Chain A
Amino acid sequence: MRKKKSKLNQWVLAVFLAGSCALSCISVAQAQENSELRKLFIEANFAYKDSRYEEAAAQYEKILKKGYENGNLYYNLANSYFKKGDLGKTVLYYERAMFFMPYDSDLKSNYDYVRSLLNLGLPEIPGSRFQRWIDRLFAGVSINGLAYFLSFLYMAAMAILSLNLFLKRFRRFSMPILILLGLLFLPAALSLNRKIDTFNNAAVVISKLADVKFEPFETATTFFKLPEGSIVEILGKTGNGYKIKRSDGKLGWISASSVEAIKE
Protein backbone atom coordinates (compact mmCIF):
# COMPACT_ATOMS: atom_id res chain seq x y z
CA MET A 1 0.00 0.00 0.00
CA ARG A 2 2.77 2.39 0.96
CA LYS A 3 4.72 1.48 -2.19
CA LYS A 4 1.67 2.22 -4.33
CA LYS A 5 1.23 5.60 -2.67
CA SER A 6 4.84 6.62 -3.23
CA LYS A 7 4.66 5.60 -6.91
CA LEU A 8 1.54 7.70 -7.37
CA ASN A 9 3.26 10.64 -5.70
CA GLN A 10 6.18 10.28 -8.06
CA TRP A 11 3.90 10.37 -11.09
CA VAL A 12 2.08 13.43 -9.82
CA LEU A 13 5.36 15.20 -9.20
CA ALA A 14 6.65 14.31 -12.66
CA VAL A 15 3.51 15.62 -14.37
CA PHE A 16 3.63 18.78 -12.30
CA LEU A 17 7.27 19.44 -13.18
CA ALA A 18 6.70 18.74 -16.88
CA GLY A 19 3.73 21.10 -16.94
CA SER A 20 5.63 23.83 -15.18
CA CYS A 21 8.53 23.49 -17.62
CA ALA A 22 6.24 23.72 -20.60
CA LEU A 23 4.48 26.76 -19.20
CA SER A 24 7.71 28.51 -18.41
CA CYS A 25 9.05 27.76 -21.91
CA ILE A 26 5.95 29.27 -23.43
CA SER A 27 6.23 32.27 -21.13
CA VAL A 28 9.87 32.77 -22.02
CA ALA A 29 9.11 32.57 -25.74
CA GLN A 30 6.21 34.97 -25.31
CA ALA A 31 8.34 37.39 -23.31
CA GLN A 32 11.02 37.26 -25.98
CA GLU A 33 8.56 38.02 -28.73
CA ASN A 34 7.03 40.83 -26.70
CA SER A 35 10.39 42.43 -26.17
CA GLU A 36 11.11 42.26 -29.94
CA LEU A 37 7.83 43.96 -30.63
CA ARG A 38 8.56 46.66 -28.09
CA LYS A 39 11.92 47.19 -29.68
CA LEU A 40 10.25 47.72 -33.05
CA PHE A 41 7.84 50.17 -31.46
CA ILE A 42 10.63 52.18 -29.87
CA GLU A 43 12.57 52.28 -33.13
CA ALA A 44 9.48 53.48 -34.91
CA ASN A 45 8.97 56.23 -32.32
CA PHE A 46 12.53 57.39 -32.78
CA ALA A 47 12.06 57.51 -36.53
CA TYR A 48 8.89 59.57 -36.00
CA LYS A 49 10.70 62.01 -33.75
CA ASP A 50 13.36 62.46 -36.45
CA SER A 51 10.58 63.16 -38.96
CA ARG A 52 11.31 59.92 -40.84
CA TYR A 53 7.64 59.18 -41.10
CA GLU A 54 7.90 56.62 -43.92
CA GLU A 55 10.28 54.54 -41.82
CA ALA A 56 8.18 54.96 -38.69
CA ALA A 57 5.06 53.70 -40.52
CA ALA A 58 7.00 50.72 -41.89
CA GLN A 59 8.20 49.76 -38.39
CA TYR A 60 4.72 50.03 -36.89
CA GLU A 61 3.38 47.88 -39.73
CA LYS A 62 5.96 45.20 -38.98
CA ILE A 63 4.31 44.74 -35.58
CA LEU A 64 0.95 44.40 -37.29
CA LYS A 65 2.34 41.84 -39.74
CA LYS A 66 3.46 39.73 -36.80
CA GLY A 67 -0.20 39.46 -35.88
CA TYR A 68 -0.44 41.85 -32.96
CA GLU A 69 -2.42 45.05 -32.50
CA ASN A 70 -3.62 47.58 -29.97
CA GLY A 71 -4.93 51.13 -29.80
CA ASN A 72 -1.58 52.86 -29.24
CA LEU A 73 -0.07 51.11 -32.23
CA TYR A 74 -2.87 52.15 -34.58
CA TYR A 75 -2.81 55.68 -33.15
CA ASN A 76 0.90 56.12 -33.81
CA LEU A 77 0.56 54.58 -37.28
CA ALA A 78 -2.25 57.01 -38.09
CA ASN A 79 -0.11 59.93 -36.93
CA SER A 80 2.70 58.75 -39.23
CA TYR A 81 0.37 58.60 -42.23
CA PHE A 82 -0.92 62.05 -41.36
CA LYS A 83 2.57 63.45 -41.42
CA LYS A 84 3.10 61.74 -44.77
CA GLY A 85 0.00 63.46 -46.10
CA ASP A 86 -2.05 60.30 -46.65
CA LEU A 87 -5.27 61.38 -44.95
CA GLY A 88 -7.30 58.40 -46.14
CA LYS A 89 -5.03 55.94 -44.32
CA THR A 90 -4.93 58.31 -41.35
CA VAL A 91 -8.69 58.08 -40.98
CA LEU A 92 -8.53 54.28 -41.45
CA TYR A 93 -6.03 53.78 -38.64
CA TYR A 94 -7.75 56.24 -36.29
CA GLU A 95 -10.95 54.27 -36.89
CA ARG A 96 -9.13 51.06 -35.97
CA ALA A 97 -7.71 52.68 -32.86
CA MET A 98 -11.25 53.76 -31.88
CA PHE A 99 -12.24 50.13 -31.42
CA PHE A 100 -9.57 49.77 -28.75
CA MET A 101 -9.59 53.11 -26.96
CA PRO A 102 -12.67 55.16 -27.84
CA TYR A 103 -12.29 57.11 -24.58
CA ASP A 104 -8.81 58.46 -25.45
CA SER A 105 -9.01 62.25 -25.71
CA ASP A 106 -5.88 62.56 -27.90
CA LEU A 107 -7.34 60.13 -30.37
CA LYS A 108 -10.68 61.95 -30.48
CA SER A 109 -8.97 65.30 -30.93
CA ASN A 110 -6.76 64.07 -33.78
CA TYR A 111 -9.61 62.25 -35.47
CA ASP A 112 -11.88 65.32 -35.37
CA TYR A 113 -9.06 67.47 -36.73
CA VAL A 114 -8.36 65.16 -39.66
CA ARG A 115 -12.05 64.94 -40.53
CA SER A 116 -12.26 68.73 -40.47
CA LEU A 117 -9.32 68.94 -42.88
CA LEU A 118 -11.16 66.58 -45.20
CA ASN A 119 -14.38 68.61 -44.82
CA LEU A 120 -16.12 65.47 -43.70
CA GLY A 121 -17.77 66.66 -40.50
CA LEU A 122 -18.86 64.18 -37.85
CA PRO A 123 -19.08 60.56 -39.01
CA GLU A 124 -22.72 59.88 -39.86
CA ILE A 125 -24.02 56.92 -37.90
CA PRO A 126 -26.57 54.93 -39.91
CA GLY A 127 -29.63 53.50 -38.19
CA SER A 128 -32.82 54.60 -36.44
CA ARG A 129 -32.95 57.38 -33.84
CA PHE A 130 -32.94 54.78 -31.03
CA GLN A 131 -29.90 53.03 -32.49
CA ARG A 132 -28.02 56.32 -32.84
CA TRP A 133 -28.89 57.19 -29.21
CA ILE A 134 -27.50 53.85 -28.06
CA ASP A 135 -24.30 54.44 -30.07
CA ARG A 136 -23.80 57.82 -28.39
CA LEU A 137 -24.48 56.31 -24.96
CA PHE A 138 -21.69 53.78 -25.32
CA ALA A 139 -19.45 55.75 -27.65
CA GLY A 140 -16.59 55.81 -25.15
CA VAL A 141 -16.65 52.07 -24.44
CA SER A 142 -14.63 49.57 -26.44
CA ILE A 143 -15.92 46.20 -27.67
CA ASN A 144 -14.07 44.39 -24.88
CA GLY A 145 -15.32 46.89 -22.34
CA LEU A 146 -18.91 46.26 -23.39
CA ALA A 147 -18.40 42.49 -23.27
CA TYR A 148 -17.07 42.74 -19.71
CA PHE A 149 -19.91 45.09 -18.75
CA LEU A 150 -22.55 42.71 -20.09
CA SER A 151 -20.87 39.81 -18.29
CA PHE A 152 -20.95 41.79 -15.06
CA LEU A 153 -24.66 42.62 -15.46
CA TYR A 154 -25.47 38.99 -16.17
CA MET A 155 -23.50 37.73 -13.16
CA ALA A 156 -25.11 40.35 -10.93
CA ALA A 157 -28.54 39.19 -12.12
CA MET A 158 -27.66 35.56 -11.35
CA ALA A 159 -26.38 36.54 -7.88
CA ILE A 160 -29.56 38.49 -7.15
CA LEU A 161 -31.74 35.60 -8.32
CA SER A 162 -29.74 33.23 -6.10
CA LEU A 163 -30.07 35.52 -3.07
CA ASN A 164 -33.77 35.79 -3.80
CA LEU A 165 -34.15 32.06 -3.15
CA PHE A 166 -32.86 32.18 0.42
CA LEU A 167 -33.38 35.72 1.75
CA LYS A 168 -37.03 36.63 2.01
CA ARG A 169 -36.29 40.20 3.15
CA PHE A 170 -34.25 40.77 0.00
CA ARG A 171 -37.08 39.86 -2.33
CA ARG A 172 -38.80 43.27 -2.32
CA PHE A 173 -35.60 44.94 -3.56
CA SER A 174 -34.65 42.31 -6.07
CA MET A 175 -37.34 43.02 -8.71
CA PRO A 176 -36.46 46.73 -9.23
CA ILE A 177 -32.77 45.85 -9.32
CA LEU A 178 -33.39 43.13 -11.89
CA ILE A 179 -35.45 45.54 -14.01
CA LEU A 180 -32.63 48.08 -13.83
CA LEU A 181 -30.08 45.47 -14.84
CA GLY A 182 -32.33 44.47 -17.74
CA LEU A 183 -32.65 48.08 -18.88
CA LEU A 184 -28.87 48.40 -18.90
CA PHE A 185 -28.28 45.01 -20.47
CA LEU A 186 -30.50 45.48 -23.52
CA PRO A 187 -28.98 48.70 -24.91
CA ALA A 188 -25.48 47.53 -24.04
CA ALA A 189 -26.07 44.29 -25.95
CA LEU A 190 -27.47 46.22 -28.94
CA SER A 191 -24.50 48.58 -28.85
CA LEU A 192 -22.05 45.68 -28.73
CA ASN A 193 -23.80 44.07 -31.67
CA ARG A 194 -23.60 47.28 -33.70
CA LYS A 195 -19.94 47.84 -32.85
CA ILE A 196 -19.10 44.29 -33.93
CA ASP A 197 -21.10 44.80 -37.14
CA THR A 198 -19.32 48.07 -37.85
CA PHE A 199 -15.93 46.52 -37.18
CA ASN A 200 -16.67 43.62 -39.52
CA ASN A 201 -18.31 45.58 -42.37
CA ALA A 202 -17.08 49.18 -42.34
CA ALA A 203 -14.41 50.49 -44.70
CA VAL A 204 -12.64 53.77 -45.33
CA VAL A 205 -12.02 55.40 -48.73
CA ILE A 206 -8.26 55.76 -49.08
CA SER A 207 -7.99 57.25 -52.57
CA LYS A 208 -8.32 61.01 -53.06
CA LEU A 209 -11.67 60.82 -54.80
CA ALA A 210 -13.32 57.49 -55.56
CA ASP A 211 -15.93 56.87 -58.23
CA VAL A 212 -18.89 54.80 -57.10
CA LYS A 213 -20.56 53.22 -60.11
CA PHE A 214 -23.84 51.55 -60.95
CA GLU A 215 -22.09 48.34 -61.96
CA PRO A 216 -18.78 46.65 -61.07
CA PHE A 217 -17.12 47.56 -64.36
CA GLU A 218 -14.60 50.24 -65.16
CA THR A 219 -16.79 51.53 -67.98
CA ALA A 220 -19.98 51.73 -65.92
CA THR A 221 -21.61 55.09 -65.31
CA THR A 222 -20.53 56.87 -62.14
CA PHE A 223 -23.36 57.26 -59.66
CA PHE A 224 -21.60 59.47 -57.12
CA LYS A 225 -18.13 60.22 -55.79
CA LEU A 226 -16.68 59.67 -52.35
CA PRO A 227 -13.90 61.86 -50.96
CA GLU A 228 -10.91 60.50 -49.06
CA GLY A 229 -11.73 59.44 -45.51
CA SER A 230 -15.41 58.67 -46.14
CA ILE A 231 -16.76 55.70 -44.23
CA VAL A 232 -18.91 53.15 -46.04
CA GLU A 233 -20.41 49.76 -45.33
CA ILE A 234 -19.27 46.81 -47.45
CA LEU A 235 -22.18 44.65 -48.58
CA GLY A 236 -20.43 42.26 -50.93
CA LYS A 237 -17.52 41.67 -53.30
CA THR A 238 -17.15 40.61 -56.90
CA GLY A 239 -13.89 40.46 -58.76
CA ASN A 240 -12.06 43.67 -58.09
CA GLY A 241 -14.99 45.65 -56.77
CA TYR A 242 -16.92 46.04 -53.56
CA LYS A 243 -20.62 46.72 -53.28
CA ILE A 244 -20.94 49.49 -50.73
CA LYS A 245 -23.59 51.51 -48.94
CA ARG A 246 -23.15 55.18 -48.07
CA SER A 247 -24.44 56.58 -44.79
CA ASP A 248 -27.52 58.01 -46.56
CA GLY A 249 -28.35 54.55 -47.93
CA LYS A 250 -27.11 55.00 -51.53
CA LEU A 251 -25.66 51.82 -52.99
CA GLY A 252 -22.96 51.41 -55.60
CA TRP A 253 -19.79 49.61 -56.68
CA ILE A 254 -16.32 50.84 -55.87
CA SER A 255 -12.89 49.62 -56.93
CA ALA A 256 -11.18 47.47 -54.27
CA SER A 257 -8.05 49.63 -54.53
CA SER A 258 -9.95 52.77 -53.49
CA VAL A 259 -11.18 51.42 -50.20
CA GLU A 260 -9.82 49.47 -47.22
CA ALA A 261 -11.84 47.53 -44.67
CA ILE A 262 -11.45 48.44 -41.01
CA LYS A 263 -11.21 44.75 -40.10
CA GLU A 264 -7.92 43.44 -41.46
Chain B
Amino acid sequence: MTAACRFLFICRQPPFGLGRFGSGLDLLLTAATFEQPVTLVFIGEGVMQLRKGLDGEPLEMKNPAKALAALNIYGVDSVYAEADSLEAQNLDTGDLALPVTAVSSEQISAWVQDADHVVVI
Protein backbone atom coordinates (compact mmCIF):
# COMPACT_ATOMS: atom_id res chain seq x y z
CA MET B 1 0.00 0.00 0.00
CA THR B 2 1.39 3.43 -0.88
CA ALA B 3 1.84 5.95 1.92
CA ALA B 4 -0.65 8.79 2.29
CA CYS B 5 0.43 12.20 1.05
CA ARG B 6 -0.55 15.10 3.29
CA PHE B 7 -1.70 17.93 1.04
CA LEU B 8 -1.80 21.58 2.04
CA PHE B 9 -3.68 23.90 -0.31
CA ILE B 10 -3.08 27.63 0.07
CA CYS B 11 -5.44 30.06 -1.64
CA ARG B 12 -4.02 33.53 -2.11
CA GLN B 13 -6.16 34.78 -4.97
CA PRO B 14 -9.25 36.97 -4.67
CA PRO B 15 -12.45 35.74 -6.35
CA PHE B 16 -13.24 36.11 -10.04
CA GLY B 17 -9.60 36.38 -11.02
CA LEU B 18 -9.61 33.39 -13.42
CA GLY B 19 -6.55 31.95 -11.72
CA ARG B 20 -6.00 28.47 -10.36
CA PHE B 21 -8.77 28.47 -7.76
CA GLY B 22 -11.19 26.30 -9.75
CA SER B 23 -8.63 23.78 -10.97
CA GLY B 24 -6.98 23.89 -7.56
CA LEU B 25 -10.20 22.92 -5.84
CA ASP B 26 -10.65 20.10 -8.39
CA LEU B 27 -7.23 18.77 -7.35
CA LEU B 28 -8.14 19.13 -3.68
CA LEU B 29 -11.36 17.17 -4.15
CA THR B 30 -9.49 14.51 -6.15
CA ALA B 31 -7.00 14.12 -3.32
CA ALA B 32 -9.91 13.82 -0.87
CA THR B 33 -11.53 11.19 -3.10
CA PHE B 34 -8.28 9.25 -2.93
CA GLU B 35 -8.54 9.52 0.88
CA GLN B 36 -5.46 11.71 1.23
CA PRO B 37 -5.33 14.11 4.21
CA VAL B 38 -6.18 17.58 2.90
CA THR B 39 -5.98 21.01 4.54
CA LEU B 40 -7.17 24.23 2.87
CA VAL B 41 -5.97 27.63 4.03
CA PHE B 42 -6.95 31.08 2.75
CA ILE B 43 -4.44 33.88 3.14
CA GLY B 44 -4.05 37.45 1.95
CA GLU B 45 -6.69 38.48 -0.58
CA GLY B 46 -7.67 34.80 -0.84
CA VAL B 47 -9.92 35.18 2.21
CA MET B 48 -12.31 37.19 0.01
CA GLN B 49 -13.22 33.92 -1.74
CA LEU B 50 -14.98 32.98 1.49
CA ARG B 51 -17.19 36.06 1.77
CA LYS B 52 -20.94 35.46 1.95
CA GLY B 53 -23.08 36.91 -0.79
CA LEU B 54 -20.58 37.03 -3.64
CA ASP B 55 -22.39 37.36 -6.95
CA GLY B 56 -20.57 36.42 -10.13
CA GLU B 57 -23.62 36.77 -12.36
CA PRO B 58 -22.91 40.31 -13.58
CA LEU B 59 -19.44 39.07 -14.57
CA GLU B 60 -20.87 35.86 -16.06
CA MET B 61 -18.59 33.94 -13.75
CA LYS B 62 -19.16 31.18 -11.22
CA ASN B 63 -19.57 31.98 -7.54
CA PRO B 64 -16.84 30.54 -5.33
CA ALA B 65 -19.47 29.46 -2.79
CA LYS B 66 -20.80 26.88 -5.23
CA ALA B 67 -17.39 25.21 -5.54
CA LEU B 68 -16.71 25.57 -1.82
CA ALA B 69 -19.99 23.81 -1.02
CA ALA B 70 -18.46 20.64 -2.49
CA LEU B 71 -15.92 20.55 0.33
CA ASN B 72 -18.56 19.42 2.79
CA ILE B 73 -19.87 16.79 0.38
CA TYR B 74 -16.38 15.34 0.02
CA GLY B 75 -15.83 15.35 3.76
CA VAL B 76 -13.20 18.12 3.72
CA ASP B 77 -13.62 20.03 6.95
CA SER B 78 -10.07 21.27 7.57
CA VAL B 79 -10.66 24.78 6.22
CA TYR B 80 -8.79 27.70 7.72
CA ALA B 81 -8.16 31.39 7.15
CA GLU B 82 -5.28 33.50 8.35
CA ALA B 83 -6.54 35.72 11.15
CA ASP B 84 -4.52 38.77 10.09
CA SER B 85 -5.82 38.47 6.53
CA LEU B 86 -9.42 38.32 7.72
CA GLU B 87 -8.84 41.44 9.78
CA ALA B 88 -7.16 43.23 6.86
CA GLN B 89 -10.22 42.50 4.73
CA ASN B 90 -12.56 43.54 7.54
CA LEU B 91 -14.03 40.05 7.76
CA ASP B 92 -15.18 38.01 10.72
CA THR B 93 -15.64 34.22 10.57
CA GLY B 94 -19.36 34.98 10.86
CA ASP B 95 -19.22 36.82 7.49
CA LEU B 96 -18.05 33.72 5.66
CA ALA B 97 -19.94 31.32 3.42
CA LEU B 98 -18.72 28.19 5.22
CA PRO B 99 -17.35 27.22 8.65
CA VAL B 100 -13.73 28.36 8.82
CA THR B 101 -11.26 28.47 11.69
CA ALA B 102 -9.04 31.53 11.98
CA VAL B 103 -5.37 30.66 12.55
CA SER B 104 -2.12 32.53 12.95
CA SER B 105 0.52 32.86 10.25
CA GLU B 106 2.89 30.94 12.53
CA GLN B 107 0.49 28.01 12.47
CA ILE B 108 0.32 28.15 8.69
CA SER B 109 4.11 28.19 8.49
CA ALA B 110 4.19 25.09 10.64
CA TRP B 111 1.73 23.36 8.33
CA VAL B 112 3.85 24.26 5.31
CA GLN B 113 6.83 22.58 6.98
CA ASP B 114 4.78 19.56 7.91
CA ALA B 115 2.94 18.93 4.63
CA ASP B 116 4.15 16.39 2.08
CA HIS B 117 2.90 18.50 -0.83
CA VAL B 118 1.91 22.16 -0.90
CA VAL B 119 -0.25 23.54 -3.71
CA VAL B 120 -0.82 27.28 -4.10
CA ILE B 121 -4.15 27.99 -5.77
The yes or no verdict on A and B being binding partners is: no
Q: Which residues of A contact B (CB under 8 A)?
A: none
